[in-house]
Structure 1
């Protein structure tokens, strides 16, 4: 196993984190609901036209992938940045989604993540739509959120070619099923078991960590049985086995 190199790099380069939900806001912001939000509260927000179909679309989208970032939401909902900010603010304040912001930095390299997850009000919306809530345990740490995010981002970016099955599985237009796996989770003793698998690799992190050769040695052994590699940093399928 490549020892969670990408996830560890993500965790070790974090310089700041911030989270917001409807009843956990900055001191200068008064919450709309200062207690546990109820189903009646959420129904009231829609009945009073404080929330609308766009907020429902956001909830359905975030639930599908379990986590969605800023760019995914803007592209999917075809929003200008100002409108995106407005919808996100309303959705957080009214308890539909909660927000995690993670800032990373390493030797001049910087990256910010803006993540959104289903909150209690969003669960009530899904119940009213009779849609299954794809639960992400509230105890899920940033490392596991990052792993889920990488798979969600891959599935979203390739939705034109690959049909979403679940967060770890997709289907081509010809009906071929592919498993989705992070290359950092591959165990050498189980390499023969990987067939028709798309491995997610972060070439940017490999370069910064100077361990590209170690990953290539694993990739050579995986380069068969219908397997392929996708670089999450460039958002492209790549060859890393030479």
Structure 2
């Protein structure tokens, strides 16, 4: 049985001029979807690792920020015995603003649920793997000698699997472009390593410019602020 899929042809300016049909078989479509699902699954794996990394780094950042906030408050309350400048209203104001910032930031990051999202994404990639195995079983069944499975039956099973795939995509968070970029780059590196096993392949780091990562690194920089402020008021 032949499946027909529409291919829309566009010219300059994005105007659709005409459409043509490309004939494909159910087996070739199954193979294509296996590759598609594999790519989606690998993207989900990269996303899960990225979110887990965010969670671990934020734990360390908040540990340091909370220690600095406590030191700020203690110095503003009883620091005049150490240095009179710590008892001033301006230092108390800075300490109060910094403590409020840490509290609000901690609340905001906790709402992002990095750990929970990483775990959910991990289970999502396992669900996709189950679908990949089902698609491979379709190919195995069709390739069996004296197979009694007709193409119509394959199409019904294929449509069921694709419906499951669409359902889990709708019910899960989409990955970021950096996840797909890391996935594609890892495939390229693996292919090069397989082709030249004796040659060491130099790996480059894919930069993460997501809002989450930028916010994380900004607050890593903010860790220096309490240290500098304390030093400045100490030498006054």
TM-score (norm. length: structure 2): 0.25
Higher relative contact order (CA 8 A, sep 6+): 2
Specify which structure has the higher proportion of helix.
2
TM-score (norm. length: structure 1): 0.24
Specify which structure has the higher proportion of strand.
1
